[in-house]
Amino acid sequence: MDDNNSLSFEELERDDDEEVLQSQTVPTNFEVQNENFVVDVLESKLLVGTAMNSVEDAYLLYCQYAHAKGFSVRKGDQRCFSHTNELQSKEYNCSCEGSKDERSSSQRILVYQKLITRTNCKAKLKITREKGGEWRVSRFVEEHNHEMFPSDQTHLLRSARNISHAKKSTLEAMVNAGISVSNAVSFMENEACGPENLGFIRKDAYDHMSRLRKHTKVENGDATALIQYFIDKANKENYFYWNVQLDDDDRVMNFFFRDYRCSVDYEYFGDVLSIDTTYKTNKYNLICAPFVGINHHMQNVLFGLAFMSNETESSFEWLFTTFLDSMNGKQPQTIFSDQCQAMMNAIETVFSHSHHRLCQWHINQNAPSHFGSLNGDSAFKKMWYKCMTYCESEDEFEVTWRYMIDTYSLGGHKWLNDMYKIRQKWATAFSNGRFSAGLLATSRSEVTNMVLKKSGNKTSSLYEFVVNYSKIQKNWRVKEKTEDTRCRHDQSKISL
């Protein structure tokens, strides 16, 4: 089985959490007898003392048994012989083994929470061997403490899913030919006589294609040209700053740069910072992350630009730490971002002295999908918008929120409860004492993204994009200077 396959179908299975579905179908007696026969045959091959050809064969056999019985497999502990890397024992557990670890999330307020599906199940297979000997089953626990998946859903289990090399090639060829992932999977499902016979689900296909795009290697020539460009700029311009993060294979993973004027602008206008990472450009599918502020003419101003290969917490921490280092450690008073959990965590860690605000526009775009029938209730909508923007104090917010929840019996509404936990990040009542330049959203970043689209497209190299970006930045600065001149001229007319 391929360990790199996604663990989830929809939100039912994850790396550490898998929900056991209750059967809504009743199989016929023949189907039950056939399934029980298959389970009995496979169990007979897993009895204690049974020889195994290899660790891989044992895993595949246990996965077949799990698929037939209705549970998913997770690889467990292993031991090596003393002072060697040679395996002595290996365990395979039911995916419901263990319990959720609360320590890692106890100090953070999450926008969403994963389903808790660990039931401390003890079912497992353990194989061991003597040094130089053959593998044998040393322990086989059959009993589970949870319900099994019904047969019409077992093809959705993680350990039952695998995209073979042949199917990967077919999927990639179809997508490269311009066919959407969804249509490609539909075709392959039809060829396999149904999704249950395909061997993987649509989410696996999307994840596979996403991994291909994310790990597209930045060509050596392009990376060399980009770094040489940075070196030349640093030699010609005092205080030009750039930094590149490489992966384990010495490939460009993330980079950030800013010129001297950016640092001057940040010194004057860096009290408010907007960060948006929704725009992707260039042929490597890297994430474009402009650092945007507002100048004295209410025009956008760029404090720096980054490209990221992924949106993990560690990548954001590297980026934000690099940005602060380039700006002599000055933290903004207010930061605007979207609800990316990884970014939120990194902001909390790196920008510890800044007030973090979430984009109200993104929240309002997302809210209707959670309101259901309340979307047609104008009185409810009025109270919601008042909680967001029009409460003048924290006390007024609390009273309005409680009235809204009580009036519409929303005490058990998960999304609203989650939003209430992070109300300091989106309700203006909690930000009245902090400077925000009148912003409520990351719209400044989004406008910047629209402009940056002119710098490159899906065929642009990094070097080409950076050069074109510098031209756009130069034009912005000309507009600022023009506005400075206009304001001075108007002022002189007034003084006369």
Q: Return all residues near 333 (Cβ < 8 A) that are at least 6 apart.
A: 271, 272, 354, 355, 434, 435, 436
Q: Which residue has better confidence, 29 or 261?
A: 261
Each residue of 202-231: pLDDT tens digit? Answer: 888 888 887 665 544 455 566 778 888 889
Per-residue confidence (pLDDT) for residue 9, from 0 to 100: 38
What is the pLDDT confidence band of residue 441, given thresholds at 50, 70 and 90? Answer: very low
Per-residue confidence (pLDDT) for residue 24, from 0 to 100: 37
- HEC profile for 21-77? CCCCCCCCHHHHHHHHHHHHHHHHCCCCCCEECCHHHHHHHHHHHHHHHCCCEEEEE
Range name among 27-41, 131-145, 256-270, 309-323 with the lowest pLDDT average: 27-41
What is the pLDDT confidence band of residue 459, given thresholds at 50, 70 and 90? Answer: low
Rounded Cα distance, 371 and 347, in Å: 29
pLDDT at 11 over 60: no
Q: Which residue has better confidence, 366 or 185?
A: 185
pLDDT at 111 over 60: no
Per-residue confidence (pLDDT) for residue 12, from 0 to 100: 38
**What is the length of the chain?**
496
Average pLDDT along the chain: 80
What is the pLDDT confidence band of residue 458, given thresholds at 50, 70 and 90? Answer: low
Per-residue confidence (pLDDT) for residue 267, from 0 to 100: 92
Contact indicator for 269, 293 with CB cutoff of 8 Å: yes
Contact indicator for 294, 468 with CB cutoff of 8 Å: no
Each residue of 287-309: pLDDT tens digit? Answer: 888 898 888 888 888 899 998 88
Q: Which residue has better confidence, 21 or 450?
A: 450
pLDDT at 447 over 70: no
Per-residue confidence (pLDDT) for residue 258, from 0 to 100: 93
- For residue 21, what are its two tokens? 């579905």
Per-residue pLDDT, averaged over 435-445, amounts to 55
What is the pLDDT confidence band of residue 73, given thresholds at 50, 70 and 90? Answer: very high
What is the value of pTM for the model shown? 0.52
Each residue of 372-400: pLDDT tens digit? Answer: 889 889 999 999 999 998 898 999 999 99
CB burial of residue 42 (10 Å; 0-12, 13-18, 19+): middle
What is the pLDDT confidence band of residue 323, given thresholds at 50, 70 and 90? Answer: very high
Per-residue confidence (pLDDT) for residue 34, from 0 to 100: 64
Per-residue confidence (pLDDT) for residue 442, from 0 to 100: 44
Of 288, 267, 247, nearest to 452 by C-alpha is: 288
Q: Which residue has better confidence, 142 or 116?
A: 142
Per-residue pLDDT, averaged over 272-288, amounts to 71
Tokens 């090399």, located at residue: 165
Bridge partners (DSSP) of residue 246 are: 252
Q: Which residue has better confidence, 259 or 175?
A: 259
What is the pLDDT confidence band of residue 115, given thresholds at 50, 70 and 90? Answer: low
